[in-house]
Amino acid sequence: MFSRLNATQKGMILVIVPVVFQLLFIAAIYLPLHKFSQTLDSMRSAKDLLFTLQANEIELTKVLAFIGGSGGNLQGKEAELLEKLHQGLVGRSVWKDWDRSKNPELAHAVELGEKLEWDFECFKRKGDERWSHGLRAFQSWMGGAGIQQFFEAYSDQKELTRTVLDIERHAIAQQPEELASFKATVLLILWAGFALSVFVSAGLAFLFSREMSFRLSAVERRAALLAVENPGTVPEPPDTGTDEIAELYSALVAASVKLSEARVRQAVVLDNSADVICSLDARLKFSAVGAASSKVWGYSPNELLGQSLLNIVTGDTAGSTNSAFAVIRDAESDGKLENIVVCSNGAQKNSVWSVSWSAERKQFFCVVHDVTELRTIEKLKQHFLSVASHDLRAPLTSVTLNISIVTEAQADQITPQAKKELDRVQSSAQRLSSLVNELLELDKLEAGKLGLELGRVGVSDACEAAKTLLFGLARQSGVTLKGPIGDALVRAEEKRLVQIVTNLLSNAIKFSPKNGTVTMSVETQDGQAVIRVQDEGPGISSSEASLIFEKFSQARSSTQTEYKGTGLGLAVVKALVDSHGGSVGVDSELGKGSTFWVKLPLASGKPGEVT
């Protein structure tokens, strides 16, 4: 039942129920207090009556003494005395206000009081009648029947006083018993109310806490199941409530299901990954391994768990592996290393490890990529470059030289068609030789083997040198070269800067239309020199702009049907600019030409000074 109430409703019950019992407790206390108050009021009224009767008796005694002292000769003061006595007895007749049903013990006293009032009224009426006949008639009456009636009234007063005194004595005698009874009643109500209040509060608290504790324990168990390998498969009774705890429980159940699904997807990804994903402890022992280890290394995850990484790498890479992991751990950062893993079949595989150290868990988290094929390709590349350097470049140079000798020495004997074919062969040989040279140079740049002699170089001088080198190509292509506009001093190697501008300028000439213009400009910006080469070619799309600086990559417009050049010129430019600490890029739009730019750090001082 309680589970269908929300937290606010439960809190209201915990507050309202004790408050209701407190109100009932106050009502129970009020009843005896009210009864005791009525008793006190009755006693107070009885005392007031006693005081009134005593005052009446005193007045009667005074009148009686006065009459007795005057010997019945009142000498005209009779009316005044009788009126005063009448006001004293009748005016203070407090028994008129007493309810006989509520005060039965005073019933006799009230009757005596009424009799006293009646007797005195008769006495007063008779005296007034005698007074109306004259003083002598009144005195005669007072000396006989009048004084007798007065004594009867006095006797009634005495009896009334005695009766009230008896009632008062009886009431005083009963007061201790009534007070004790009242005290006992109040104490009983107090203790009963306190005990009942404690019982109700404790009972409600126990019921709520027990119910909430049971359900929170279920929530705790469900939360603990989130750490289980597959929490969605662990049975747990559902919470059928509608309060906040039930909502929390439902959220945890939903999270468990989603987490289970995510773990399944993660396991599928990890098990089918081409890379080995694993974790190592601080001693380089495998603590977790993905299923890809079976496909890549031939070791199952169970075979690797608890085994040291150094046991499956070659001896010549074990030391560097251990040192690299130690550096990553001490730096508490990420890092990469390369080693050779010995597979279960004895094969050796080059592996690149991406490692992240967790100081909190004291573990390395690793992704191992097999680069054996890449290293094989690199070896083939080096072999090719070696072959190109020694076995291709020399013959090509020889072919070019021999063709030049033949065309010059036998110019008169060579037919125009033969000369055309020889020129084509020489052009192809020169192009192939240029390709080999660019490949070798690019390889040196990428390997960092090309040393630079940096100095303070004027950009405009480098642009003029490049312009001179390509003047013939520009004239042959029908392209006009303009600039350089502006100048700046940069920190670079002069020969390499000329090569950078030459490659950019050559690229612009090749892709410019006949009668087009190529413009060179130089400006400074944010501590850098910006060299721009602008052409009027077909332009480059945004999707191709990020690829043209890659090897063997060229932009291809919709109007272009063949590639021009080797596709290595811009790659060489990027490698040279990167080695100078600069940047290179292109701003272009299809049909509106392209602007290639190079940014290099500025230098101060005189041109030619080596730094």
Decide if 117 contacts 85 (C-beta within 8 A). no
Query: Rounded to the nearest 5 degrees, what angle is found at the Cα of 159, between the Cα atoms of 156 and 165?
Result: 140
pLDDT at 94 over 60: no
What CA–CA distance (Å, rounded) separates 565 from 427?
A: 12
Closest CA to 81 of 128, 148, 115, 46: 128
pLDDT of residue 459: 92
Lowest mean pLDDT among 249-263, 345-359, 530-544: 249-263
pLDDT of residue 548: 82
Domains of the chain, by residue range, sit at 19-195, 273-370, 378-446, 452-601
Rounded average pLDDT over 7-16: 71
C-alpha distance across the termini of the chain, in Å: 87
Question: Which amino acid is residue 271, in one-letter code?
Answer: D
Helices (H) and strands (E) in the chain, counts: 17, 12
Q: Which residues are paired to 352 by β-bridges?
A: 338, 369
pLDDT digits (tens, 9 = 90+) for 205-247: 777 777 777 777 777 776 776 665 555 454 555 555 666 667 7
Give DSSP secondary structure letters for 47-93.
HHHHHHHHHHHHHHHHHHHHHHHHTT--TT-HHHHHHHHHHHHHHT-
Using a pLDDT cut of 70, give the percent of the chain over it.
68
Question: What separation in angstroms does the CA of 518 have from each of 88, 441, 473, 515, 572?
Answer: 141, 27, 12, 10, 21
**pLDDT level of residue 608 (50, 70, 90 thresholds):** very low
Task: For CA atoms 109, 112, 116, 121, give the dihedral sign.
Answer: positive
pLDDT of residue 563: 44
Rounded average pLDDT over 557-585: 72
Decide if 147 contacts 67 (C-beta within 8 A). yes
Tokens representing residue 611 in the block: 């730094």
pLDDT digits (tens, 9 = 90+) for 21-75: 777 777 777 777 777 777 777 667 666 666 666 666 666 666 655 555 544 444 4
Highest averaged pLDDT of the listed ranges 113-122, 123-132, 495-504: 495-504
pLDDT of residue 197: 76
Average pLDDT over the chain, rounded to whole? 76
| 147-224 and 7-70 helices, crossing angle to 10° | 170
Q: Higher confidence at residue 324 or residue 1?
A: 324
Rounded average pLDDT over 564-590: 82
Burial letters 194-233, b for 16+ CB under 10 A, else e: eeebeeeeeebeeebeebbeebeebbeebeebeeeeebee
Q: Which CATH superfamily is domain 273-370 in?
A: PAS domain (3.30.450.20)
What CA–CA distance (Å, rounded) separates 98 from 123?
A: 25
pLDDT at 285 over 90: yes
pLDDT of residue 89: 54
Tokens representing residue 99 in the block: 């309810």
Lowest mean pLDDT among 4-18, 52-66, 528-542: 52-66
Q: In the CATH hierarchy, which top-level class contains the domain 452-601? A: alpha beta
